[in-house]
Amino acid sequence: MSLKIRKGVPLIDQHDKNFMYGGKFGGNFIPETLKKPIDDLTKLFSKLRKDKKFVEKRDHFFKSYVGAPTPFIKLDNLTDHLCGAQIYAKVVSEANGGAHKIYNATVHCLIAKKAGKKYIVGDTGAGYAGKMLSMAAKKFGLKCKIFMGAKDIKRQRPNVEAIRKNGAIIIPVYSGSQTLVDAVSECMRYWVSNCDTTHMCVGSTVGPNIFIKICAYSTAQISRELIGQVKEEFGKIPKKMKLINCVGGGSSAMGFWNEFIDTDAELIGVEAGGPKNSKLHAAPLTNGSKIGILHGAAQYVIQDKDGQIGTTESISAGLDYPGISPLHCFLKDTKRARYTSASDEDALKAYKLVSKLENISPSLEPSHAFAEAIKLAPKLKSSDIIIVNSCGDSQKDKDIIKKRLGTYIR
């Protein structure tokens, strides 16, 4: 299969019979015990995507529960401060719960109900995926368990409290690095033993192919809204337009870019570069990582010299992941998207500047994207357009921000 994007075909469907994108990325590298539940879920989702009643129900809850559409605003003060490109934001943090993860959680709960499951489990890093899944589970009457690394439980206290308030049980993960990568692993292990009664929600566009598809399908709501908002603002899709998004697992970026894949918009993904004076990072695409297998899929993975999963480091729990969605690997190798990274320090500076100048307060994840926008804007003309996905609110990071900056700007 060639490394070429086919126009007019949804990106999630551009795989071969083995669920590989470009013959290199993705697939279903799973134990035999997972084959039947994965096949069953794949068949069910394929059917539901074509079911008008299911799509209508999805759209109903996106509007009445999630709060779609989220705002699209011009950041006038930031634009004037940087004296270059016009800077806009898609304020996805205005969605119910404060982040883009609510789209995926809502769709997974609707699927779980269709499948007749009473329980739902999920993973979380920044706490957003867990918080949103606990919210949606409560909304749809499902019992919920969230797997979360012990390190992330400590650094994402506000979201941990919200998860528990919603009635979900948090399962601390003490293995490995005690972060997102280990939470995903433990969640999958649990599902293997409980798949008859339990549905699993993977919180990003990672894992076996079906979970990549469901997540990207769900978050695509962001760009479905945005493409209409852009046309309303400019009368057309501007030729010189950059869509900048942070990238960890890759769910928010896939949602932000989906409807623009076949346009001339420049797609820029910003990974977590980690501390400036450290060799540790969470940026496999921009640091020459090799292809490996992680959580059932082939992708670029941070590895040590023996080919084992390498150690990562980022101030952002939501970006602190050693792999990257196979869809992003495919976009990188086809050169449809460009990837770079921002350091912890640059993300903090971006958070501070945006929060000071504008009426939004991005979490540390989208602050990485804002760091790139702040870097690029002065080099561009006023006819150039930059749109940043402000996909999360800083409330969850207030303890980290206070510790690092000495103050929290809201």
pLDDT tens, position by position, 120-136: 999 998 889 999 999 99
Amino acid symbol at 198: T
Region 188-205: what's the mean pLDDT?
A: 95
Write the CATH number of the domain with boundaries 67-98+221-405.
3.40.50.1100
DSSP H or E run through 183: helix 180-194
Where are the chain's structural domains?
Answer: 18-62+100-216, 67-98+221-405
**Which residue in the block uniquely carries the two structure tokens 């079906």?**
210
Burial string for 9-34 (b: 16+ CB within 10 Å, else e) reads eebbebbeeebbbbebbbbbebeeeb
* pTM (2 d.p.): 0.96
pLDDT tens, position by position, 139-163: 999 999 999 999 999 989 999 999 9
The answer to whether domain 18-62+100-216 and domain 67-98+221-405 are alike in fold is yes
Do 378 and 353 form a contact (C-beta atoms < 8 A)?
A: no
Evaluate if residue 409 carries a pLDDT over 90: no
pLDDT tens, position by position, 263-299: 999 999 999 999 999 999 999 999 999 999 999 999 9
How confident is the model at residue 220, as a pLDDT? Answer: 98
What residues pair up with 342 in beta bridges, in sequence order?
Answer: 272
How confident is the model at residue 304, as a pLDDT? Answer: 94
Region 22-35: what's the mean pLDDT?
A: 95
How confident is the model at residue 124, as a pLDDT? Answer: 93
Q: At what angle do helices 364-376 and 344-357 cross, to 10 degrees?
A: 80
pLDDT tens, position by position, 347-397: 999 999 999 999 999 999 999 999 999 999 999 999 999 999 999 999 999
Tokens representing 77 are: 């003060």
Measured distance CA(95)–CA(403) in Å, rounded: 27
Q: Which fold has domain 18-62+100-216?
A: Rossmann fold (3.40.50)
